[in-house]
Amino acid sequence: MSDQEAFRQVVPTHRSRVEVSLAGVLTGHLGPVYEVCFSPDGSLLLSAAEDESLLIWDMAERRQRYALPIPAWNLAFAPDMRTFAFTSGPEVFVCSTDGNIEARLGGHASPATSVTFSPMEEILITGDAAGIVRLWSRRTWTMIDSFALVSPSLEHAGKQGKPSYFGVHFLALEPGGHRLAAAFSDTRGSTQIWKLIRPSSHTPSWGLEWVRALMEPDKPVCSIHFSPDGELLMLVEAQRDQVWLFDGQTLERRQVLRLPSEHQLPTGAVFSPDGQFFAVATGEGVVWVWSTRDLDVSGTFSAHSEGWFDYSQHDTIGGIDWSPCGDKIATSGMSSGTRYDEDLGDFTGPADYTIKLWDIHMT
C-alpha cells in the first residue's frame, strides 16, 4: 500500500468522542518546559525545563513537592513507583520520589539521550548519542552490559561517507519487555527493533538481537510508543505531519495518519492507558486525539497556542503525558511570549512556562 493510498483511507471525520476541559495550571518553572511524566499511579508528575530544574508535583494537592536543581531530560518512572530516572549530559540520575539522589550512572562517554525501565526485569536501559545502549542492574545500579547499535558493515559504510548512525534518541520496550524499539537512524532505517535476550542456561549473559528496521533513514521520529496492550507501535515523524502505526506483533505497517492541519509539526505523542486513544501534540500548541479502533479524530483542543504564529520559529508545546487513571492529560508550555508585536518583530506578552492539566471525558 502506498503512502498516498494509506492517507486516503484514514481521512479524519472529526466525530467528537472526547471532551476536554482545563482542570488546573501548575506554575514554578522559569524557562520552557520540555517534558512531563506521570508516575505509574498518577499521584505524582515530573517536569523538566530549560531553567535547569526538575520539579516533582503532588497531583492530589496540585502543588510542588520537591525541586532538583539539575538539568534533566528523558524522564522515566520505575514500575514500582519508588524511583525515577533521567539523563543529564553523559550521566543518568536515579532518584527516589522524595527527591533524594540514589545513584549517578556515569558509564556513557557521550550525552545520554534516552532511558527506559524494563517492566518485567530489574533493569534500566539507557542510550546515548554515540549509538550505545547500556543495561543497568536496579538492585546495585551497576552496569550489566553495553551494546553498539551499529553493525561493522554499517560502521564501514559511515566511513565511506554514507549515512551511518546519529545516536539513540528514544527507547521504548513493548509491554512484555521482549523487544526494544530504538529511534536510531542508520542506513537500514530511522527506527530499529531489537530482541532483548535474557540470561538462560544457553545464553548466560544479556544480549540484543536485531530484528528489523522501520521507516526510511531520512524520516527521523520525535516520539515512539507501544500501546499498553502491545498491539500497536506508534512512530511520530519529527519533520512531517505524519503518524505511522505498525502492528505491534508482526511490525507490518497498518496506517499512516496525517495531522489535519498541514502547518502543524508534531512534538510528542502518548497512548491512553487503556490503549483506545492516542494524543499527538503539535508545535503550534494544539493537541489532536485519535481513536485506535476506527482511526478517526475523536477530539482536539488548544493547549498552548497563544504564543504560536505562522512566522514563529519555535514550538509552543513541549511535553505531553496521559495520566494512568485515564482521566487527565498534562501538557507543558514552551513559549517565550504569548503576544507578538509585528512592528517590533518580537514577543511582548507574558511567557507560557506553565503545565496545564486537562480533564478528559470519553463519550
pLDDT for position 329? 97
Model pLDDT for residues 243-257, shown as the tens digit of each residue:
999 999 999 999 999
Model pLDDT for residues 353-362, shown as the tens digit of each residue:
999 999 999 8
- Please give the mean pLDDT across all residues of the chain: 86
Does the pLDDT value for residue 262 go beyond 70?
Answer: no
Model pLDDT for residues 118-166, shown as the tens digit of each residue:
987 789 999 998 889 999 999 999 999 999 886 444 443 333 333 334 5
Cell matching residue 343 = 512592528
Which CATH number covers residue 83?
Answer: 2.130.10.10
Check residues 77 and 80 and name the one with the higher pLDDT.
77
DSSP-derived pairing of the beta strands 44-49 and 33-38: antiparallel
Model pLDDT for residues 2-38, shown as the tens digit of each residue:
333 333 333 344 454 789 999 999 999 999 999 999 9
| Spatial distance between the Cα atoms of 201 and 205, rounded to a whole number of angstroms | 9
In degrees and rounded to multiples of 5, residue 313 shows phi and psi of: -110, 15
Residue 265's domain spans which residues? 3-362
Give the total number of structural domains in the chain: 1
| Spatial distance between the Cα atoms of 7 and 2, rounded to a whole number of angstroms | 9
| Spatial distance between the Cα atoms of 318 and 334, rounded to a whole number of angstroms | 6
In degrees and rounded to multiples of 5, residue 28 shows phi and psi of: 165, -25
| Spatial distance between the Cα atoms of 272 and 321, rounded to a whole number of angstroms | 9
Model pLDDT for residues 166-185, shown as the tens digit of each residue:
578 899 999 989 999 998 87
Q: Say whether 354 sits in a helix, a strand or coil.
A: coil
| Spatial distance between the Cα atoms of 131 and 163, rounded to a whole number of angstroms | 13
